[in-house]
Amino acid sequence: MMNIRKTAVLASLIVLCVAMAAGQPTVLRVDINQIKGKVNPAMWGLFFEDINMGADGGLYAELIKNRSFEFFRPLMGWNVLGKAQEGALLVLNRQEQQAANPRFLRVNTERSGAEGMGLSNEGFRGMGIKEGLRYDFSVMYRQRKPGITLKLELVDSAGRVIGQGRWQPRGDGQGWQKQSASFQATATHPRARLNIWFEGAGEIDLDMISLFPADTWKGRPGGLRADMVQLLADMQPGFLRFPGGCIVEGFDLSQRFQWKKTVGPIEDRQQLINRWNFEFRHRPTPDYFQTFGLGFFEYFQLAEDIGAEPLPILNCGMACQFNSAEVVPMDRLDEYVQDALDLIAFANGDISSPWGKLRAEMGHPEPFNLKMLGVGNENWGPQYIERLAVFQKAINEQYPEIAIVASSGTDPSGERFDYLNSELRKMQVDIIDEHYYRHPDWFFENASRYDDYDRNGPKIFAGEYAAQSVRIASPDNKNNWLTALAEAAFLTGVERNADVVTLASYAPLFGHIDGWQWTPDLIWVDNLQAYGTPNYYVQKLYATNKGTHIVPVTAGGKPLTGHQGLYASAVVDGNAGEVIVKVVNRNGDSETVVLDVPGIRRMPATATCIVLQSDNLDRMNTIDQPLAVSPKTETVEINGKRPQFELKPYSFTVIKIKR
Ligand code: AHR
């Protein structure tokens, strides 16, 4: 048995992997020459849905809430400043000319008193404002009686001005036009608001009142929050699933997600109520709407930016079966199928085609290289199979190269699942989307779920997984270390079976600490900061140590799926020339393991150990302690052929050895 000594450089760090000389260590045999299958390079990905203020109020960096007055209550999010005379502020509707964005605001200051008149926008649970940063204000306007200019003031919660600007309309043209004005913030504040004072006498129409920080992802005007995207990019995700989730289905079919209404100029994108606005009585969010500033073009662009394959999920002609359960009659399904075909054209089509042309006009003449398309989210029953079959036929005929992802419902077992699983296999769909929102025990117990799955049938997409510390949809669920450890254990089974489970993503992705409806979530944010949960670091460790081929890791000839509290999987990385072993120790005590890697003739002098661990299963990361449970990496020296490692209590360890 060989001792592992910590390198001198890291001697002061907490011991993560140390040699053990006593006890009866478990021998982990890693057969690096018995390749069991390839790992899909895109295997570990992301599930995005506009839930928990994931898009509006989150990833989409717009700071103004209800910028085009399309919420049910047109002035929700806005407060009148000063004294507005009767008729001085009017919400008008031009449905006939602009069906997608009918409302606008008419401001008349001719009778304003000395104290002036203005509007204040509260943002999404306030606005996160950063000292020294530039803020870009813009508005669509139409002059009626020139004379009004806007004084812009960012104010903190005590009313102190922390940024000032002025906006003056150019010319006195009658048609709608857009104009911007920028200014800098003088202080940082997490819950600021924007005051807009109307100065001078006149009348003006306003719409699409907008404020963006300059520090968006890649500095794109009207773009995404850079810190949130960075956390995604850091995971090196293989795919990005969007836009959901139940949001795809809608409460009823009129509220379903329609991608065509989310592309083109933002002022022409038709706002829709967010289905999470009223889903949970215990977490109502009456101000939750979808502006679609983050629309399908931006989703594709985001996927490309972070090196992920796009994976859109489309409505299959069925509304949420927990809500209205409306289905479109079969003889009216064509429109839905056409949406799917047109989406493929939008993503991949030549720029001479109408949809390819739109993509080019939006700034991306090159195709987005779409390879997979989901039909339906959590849909079930024969009504789903009947509709899916129509999509499958049409897509296969026109785009045989596109892999179809089909739903196996809401649960990973039970009558609904069994029915769908058997029907989808008969239909030979390409990929079956399985969802598991279960107690941590389920995750520990299901580490062998895929060991006996059919290797010749459809591939599996672990499309939405998350251990629930209490139960699904409970507001008390926590992203604690226990849930992450359970997922790490389960994912050893996913990795061991990466020849059949080719895609995996945690769900949901984002939660805003002041605006969430669903917990747990992979990443939590407030208006200024974002942090990864322990669950984030688990998936990140899989994604960033995915290897290229699966190899067996066994103890006593069997895979480690919980025996003596240990779970393991192994891959080799043909490019990096590495053996990567992932081991979960579920026990509250340290466990010693010996690595036996017969395929390696001579062990290298060092190994890398990455350890995610806490002695406290309730431990969580927070805004103040974002790295409480986060990976620690160290290089360790090894001597001889069968190195021995101590796995810390309640730990997930990634051991990397150069071949
Ligand atoms: O991730 C939250 C929700 O859980 C998703 O919208 C849905 O697909 C699942 O039920």
Pair 539, 573 in one domain: no
Pocket residues: Cβ below 6 A from ligand 1:
49, 51, 244-246, 377-378, 410, 464, 507-508, 518
Pair 206, 267 in one domain: no
Q: How many CB atoms lie within 10 A of CB 84?
A: 20
* CATH number assigned to the domain comprising residue 118: 2.60.120.260
Six token digits for residue 311: 């994976």
The number of domains in the chain is: 3
CA of 365 to the centre of ligand 1 (A): 33
Phi, psi of 450 (to 5 degrees): -95, 0
How far is it, in rounded angstroms, from Cα 479 to Cα 513?
13
Nearest to 369 by CA among 301, 466, 425, 417: 301
Kindly state whether residue 71 falls inside one of the protein's structural domains.
no
Q: Report the relative pairing of strands 117-121 and 189-199 from DSSP bridges.
A: antiparallel
Give the model confidence (pLDDT) of 479-506 as tens digits.
Answer: 999 999 999 999 999 999 999 999 999 9
Atom of ligand 1 nearest to the CA of 244: 6
Atom 8 of ligand 1, nearest CA residue: 245
Supply the DSSP string of 236-291, one letter for each residue: --SEEEES-SGGGT-SSGGGS--GGGGSSSGGGS--EE-TTSSS-TTS--TT-EE-
Angstrom distances, CA of residue 186 to CA of 133, 134, 541: 8, 10, 39
CA of 630 to the centre of ligand 1 (A): 26
Nearest to 75 by CA among 95, 105, 47: 105
CA of 205 to the centre of ligand 1 (A): 40
CB-count exposure of residue 588 (10 Å: 0-12, 13-18, 19+): exposed
User: Of the residues 164, 193, 213, which one is the last residue of a structural domain?
Assistant: 213
Kindly state whether residue 607 falls inside one of the protein's structural domains.
yes
Kindly state whether residue 72 falls inside one of the protein's structural domains.
no
Atom 4 of ligand 1, nearest CA residue: 245
User: Of the residues 543, 566, 583, which one is the last residue of a structural domain?
Assistant: 543
What amino acid is encoded at 25 in this protein? P
CB-count exposure of residue 554 (10 Å: 0-12, 13-18, 19+): middle
How far is it, in rounded angstroms, from Cα 247 to Cα 50?
7
Residue of 434, 435, 477, 523 with the most ligand 1 atoms within 8 Å of its CB, for mutation: 435
Pair 486, 620 in one domain: no
Atom of ligand 1 nearest to the CA of 410: 10
User: Of the residues 167, 189, 213, which one is the last residue of a structural domain?
Assistant: 213
Pair 497, 572 in one domain: no
User: Going by C-beta distance under 8 Å and a sequence separation of 6 or more, which residues neighbour residue 24?
Assistant: none
Kindly state whether residue 73 falls inside one of the protein's structural domains.
no
Q: With beta carbons less than 8 A apart as the criterion, state whether 399 and 429 touch.
A: no
CA of 344 to the centre of ligand 1 (A): 24
Atom 6 of ligand 1, nearest CA residue: 245
User: Going by C-beta distance under 8 Å and a sequence separation of 6 or more, which residues neighbour residue 333?
Assistant: 317, 387, 390
Q: Which domain holds residue 200?
A: 78-213
How far is it, in rounded angstroms, from Cα 349 to Cα 93?
36
Residue of 437, 438, 516, 523 with the most ligand 1 atoms within 8 Å of its CB, for mutation: 437
Pair 300, 343 in one domain: yes
Kindly state whether residue 481 falls inside one of the protein's structural domains.
yes
Cα three-residue angle 577-583-587, rounded to 5 degrees? 165
Q: Residue 22: what pLDDT?
A: 43
Six token digits for residue 407: 């739903």
Tell me how far apart the 2 most distant CA atoms of the chain are, in Å: 90
Nearest to 126 by CA among 105, 153, 155: 155
Question: Could you give the residue numbers annotated as active site?
Answer: 378
Atom of ligand 1 nearest to the CA of 437: 4
Dihedral sign from CA coordinates of 473, 42, 573, 498: positive
Q: Residue 23: what pLDDT?
A: 57
Q: Is the pTM of this model over 0.85?
A: yes
What amino acid is encoded at 612 in this protein? L
Residues counted in the chain = 659
Pair 52, 84 in one domain: no
CA of 203 to the centre of ligand 1 (A): 46
Pair 169, 244 in one domain: no
How far is it, in rounded angstroms, from Cα 45 to Cα 421?
23
How far is it, in rounded angstroms, from Cα 337 to Cα 387?
9
Radius of gyration from C-alpha coordinates of the chain: 27
Pair 280, 175 in one domain: no
CA of 301 to the centre of ligand 1 (A): 23
Residue of 311, 518, 522 with the most ligand 1 atoms within 8 Å of its CB, for mutation: 518
How far is it, in rounded angstroms, from Cα 388 to Cα 373?
12
CB-count exposure of residue 571 (10 Å: 0-12, 13-18, 19+): buried
**Which three-class secondary structure state does DSSP give residue 145?**
strand
Kindly state whether residue 66 falls inside one of the protein's structural domains.
no
Kindly state whether residue 70 falls inside one of the protein's structural domains.
no
Nearest to 380 by CA among 335, 418, 333, 345: 418
Supply the DSSP string of 163-225, one letter for each residue: EEEEE---S--SS-EEEEEEEEBSS-EEEEEEEEEEESS-EEEEEEEEEEES-BGGG-TT-BB
* CATH number assigned to the domain comprising residue 643: 2.60.40.1180
CA of 137 to the centre of ligand 1 (A): 35
Pair 573, 640 in one domain: yes
Cα three-residue angle 109-81-58, rounded to 5 degrees? 115
**Residue pointed to by tokens 């984030």:** 536
Q: With beta carbons less than 8 A apart as the criterion, state whether 544 and 656 touch.
A: no
Atom of ligand 1 nearest to the CA of 47: 1
Atom 1 of ligand 1, nearest CA residue: 508
User: Going by C-beta distance under 8 Å and a sequence separation of 6 or more, which residues neighbour residue 643?
Assistant: 2, 4, 594, 595, 603, 607
Pair 513, 555 in one domain: no
CA of 251 to the centre of ligand 1 (A): 13
Pair 207, 240 in one domain: no
Atom 7 of ligand 1, nearest CA residue: 245
Atom of ligand 1 nearest to the CA of 377: 8
Supply the DSSP string of 516-540, one letter for each residue: -SS---SEEE-SS-EEE-HHHHHHH
Kindly state whether residue 69 falls inside one of the protein's structural domains.
no
Nearest to 431 by CA among 468, 457, 401: 457
How far is it, in rounded angstroms, from Cα 33 to Cα 37?
11
Pair 234, 123 in one domain: no
Which positions of the chain have pLDDT values less than 50? 1-22
Atom of ligand 1 nearest to the CA of 247: 6
Q: With beta carbons less than 8 A apart as the criterion, state whether 80 and 122 touch.
A: no
What amino acid is encoded at 266 in this protein? I
* CATH number assigned to the domain comprising residue 484: 3.20.20.80
Atom of ligand 1 nearest to the CA of 49: 6
Atom 3 of ligand 1, nearest CA residue: 245
Give the model confidence (pLDDT) of 452-472 as tens digits.
Answer: 999 999 999 999 999 999 999
How far is it, in rounded angstroms, from Cα 17 to Cα 3?
11
